[in-house]
């Protein structure tokens, strides 16, 4: 028997982890537990999902369509003249 309520409050838990800027303090537990690709019901294909780190500006973790997880660093330094 499969419990239909397993994972029913994951979105609420993710919202609780986010700070004012919508960023999450990334660690292995959060990435393994909450980061999962989403299934699009209309096209029946997986969509990538991502989280942004709250401590390191520019660090993102992405759950790719094929199920792998990738850490990427996007940071462009701008100077004001």
Tens-place pLDDT, residues 45-77: 888 888 888 888 888 888 888 888 998 998 777
pLDDT > 60? residue 78: yes
Give the C-alpha separation, 68 to 62, whole Å: 8
Kindly report whether the global pTM for this prediction surpasses the value 0.75: no
pLDDT > 80? residue 20: yes
Give the C-alpha separation, 39 to 31, whole Å: 18
The closest of 14, 10, 79, 7 to 52, measured between CA atoms, is 14
């Amino acid at each position: 028997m499969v419990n239909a309520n397993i994972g029913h409050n994951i979105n609420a838990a993710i919202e609780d982890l986010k700070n004012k800027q919508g960023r999450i303090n990334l660690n292995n537990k959060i990435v393994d537990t909450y980061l999962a690709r989403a299934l699009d019901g209309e096209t029946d294909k997986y969509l990538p999902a991502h989280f942004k780190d709250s401590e390191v500006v520019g660090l993102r973790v992405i759950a790719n369509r094929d199920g792998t997880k990738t850490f990427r660093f996007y940071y462009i330094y701008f100077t004001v003249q």
